[in-house]
Structure 1
Amino acid sequence: MEAIADNASSLLRETSLFSAWPEALLNTLLTQSKKVTLGSGDILFVEKATANAFYLVLSGRIHLIAAAATGQEKIVEIIQINDLFAEAVAFLGGCYPVTAAADGPTTVLEIPLALFLEILEQKPQLMRQMLARLSMRLHFLVKELRHLSVESAEQRLASYLLELCPVVNNPAVIELPAKKAAVAARLGLTPETLSRVLSRMRKAGLIEVEQRTISIPDPLALRRWAGGH
């Protein structure tokens, strides 16, 4: 691990979790934060390990992986650059609920839980803001689980692509945030199913695919197409 970068403060301030933090408090937290560099496939933490930090992605991507009762693993979220993750353990305590692994060369900022909690205990208004953000995140995850349980493969993929669109009423070009196999796992699909659905969308004139770049000429048409499935 190495000393944190000079721009770590501004990166944290851009997140909703730290947007209201005074500069002095943020700098106090950063004095004990560190950068961690990972290679492709390296494990940052494992499921059920004691939680003592949470993280901000500075470069690369992180896969959050959960183990099913059958022993199989599923990617439940793909964490991208400038995203915070594992912050919920600050309030839940105990252990990490998932395993975090690097998808390619990745650098994260490791933020110590003990100091984070100490600061919050002195600032109850900040604590309320943290809880509000986590509540919103929980609602999002519940919505995602419902989608995975009732939506068809076409609906799952269309919804995912539309989430990546900056706007839904104009043509868009998006970049998949991970390899297609990881995206398929994130959506609860096999890679083969993902390829078939992409092919059907392409034949319908809804998308153009060039490796991980996807062009969507009419996002609203894609939404209507998915609704028919």
Structure 2
Amino acid sequence: MENNKEALLPRLRQTPLFAAWPEDAIAPLLAQSRPLTLESGDILFAEGSSARSFYFLASGRIDLIAAAATGQEKIVEIIQPDDLFAEAVAFLGGRYPVTAQADVATTVLEIPLDLFVESLEQRPLLMRQMLARLSMRLHFLVKELRHLSVESAEQRLVSYLLDLCPMLNGPAAFELPARKAAVAARLGLAPETLSRVLTRIRKAGLIEVERRMIIVPDPPALRRWAEGH
């Protein structure tokens, strides 16, 4: 386990949050962290539960799920390997605002919040970096709210696909980060609606679909198509 943690250190240092952390700050934090293994469907933490840790996704996938007032659940984010998540709870009163559930066999690094916050308080520069990250996250959530409230199903899906494109000025290929049903829930769409829109875009010659692999020959043309819907 210790070797596994040490192997994660270079990947942690690539995250915006930890990129500027000096060795003497991140080493004790890593020493107090622990790897956790989850099976598909396992709950890492539940919405409203007391938060004592945040997490780095080493492998697998995690769905962040929020309960709506109607009692339905919605996937608000699909966490990918090398992502940090739940770090904002350090500033939100100590309770998780969503449920985190493993979508496949998954390994995460559990990072203790108390030691993390103590390190930030001793290093004001790191605190400012954390606030900048949270501000960027807020901007992202405002953008997502606009997508879900005013955009059509076509616009939501195309915006999502273009966000996944590794390049926007030429042909691009990428894999959907999760099953289509999870992507549909992430976009606030019924699975059959997602399938219909994908079929329409494919018949328009704007994408090719091979299981979860998406090929976009002309991203600007795909964007123009969405603007017409």
TM-score range, shorter chain: over 0.9
Q: Which residue of 1 aligns with 2:164?
A: 164
Cα RMSD between the aligned structures?
0.8
Which amino acid is the alignment partner of residue 138 of structure 1? L
Task: Write the deviation string for residues 65-88 of structure 1: whole angstroms up to 9, x where unpaired.
Answer: 000111110000000000000000
Equivalent residue runs for 1:1-12 within 5 Å: 2-3=1-2, 4-12=4-12
**How many Å apart are 1:121 and its aligned residue?**
1.0
Partners of 1:9 and 1:91 lie apart in 2 by 24
Q: Which residue of 2 aligns with 1:96?
A: 96
**How many Å apart are 1:47 and its aligned residue?**
0.2
Partners of 1:153 and 1:162 lie apart in 2 by 14
Equivalent residue runs for 1:88-127 within 5 Å: 88-127=88-127
Which amino acid is the alignment partner of residue 17 of structure 1? L
Which amino acid is the alignment partner of residue 10 of structure 2? S
SS of the aligned residue for 1:88 comes to: helix
SS of the aligned residue for 2:168 comes to: coil
Partners of 1:226 and 1:168 lie apart in 2 by 15
Q: Which residue of 2 aligns with 1:212?
A: 212
Partners of 2:70 and 2:144 lie apart in 1 by 21
Q: Which residue of 2 aligns with 1:173?
A: 173
1:68 aligns with 2:68: yes
**How many Å apart are 1:105 and its aligned residue?**
0.1
Moved over 3 A (4+): none
Q: Which residue of 1 aligns with 2:40?
A: 40
Q: Which residue of 2 aligns with 1:188?
A: 188
Partners of 1:204 and 1:144 lie apart in 2 by 26
Partners of 1:92 and 1:195 lie apart in 2 by 37
SS of the aligned residue for 2:214 comes to: strand
Task: Write the deviation string for residues 151-177 of structure 1: whole angstroms up to 9, x where unpaired.
Answer: 000000000000000111100111000
**How many Å apart are 1:128 and its aligned residue?**
0.8
**How many Å apart are 1:93 and its aligned residue?**
2.7
Which amino acid is the alignment partner of residue 168 of structure 2? V
Which amino acid is the alignment partner of residue 97 of structure 2? P
Q: Which residue of 2 aligns with 1:131?
A: 131
1:56 aligns with 2:21: no
**How many Å apart are 1:124 and its aligned residue?**
1.1
Partners of 1:138 and 1:18 lie apart in 2 by 19
Q: Which residue of 1 aligns with 2:151?
A: 151
Task: Write the deviation string for residues 118-154 of structure 1: whole angstroms up to 9, x where unpaired.
Answer: 1111111110111011111111111111111000000
Q: Which residue of 1 aligns with 2:224?
A: 224
Q: Which residue of 2 aligns with 1:87?
A: 87
Which amino acid is the alignment partner of residue 82 of structure 1? D
Partners of 1:28 and 1:174 lie apart in 2 by 37
Which amino acid is the alignment partner of residue 220 of structure 1? P
Gap runs ≥5 in structure 1: none
Partners of 1:6 and 1:18 lie apart in 2 by 15
Q: Which residue of 2 aligns with 1:199?
A: 199
Of 54-63 and 89-98, the range deviating more from structure 2 = 89-98
**How many Å apart are 1:9 and its aligned residue?**
1.5
Partners of 1:80 and 1:9 lie apart in 2 by 17
Which amino acid is the alignment partner of residue 79 of structure 1? I
SS of the aligned residue for 1:7 comes to: helix
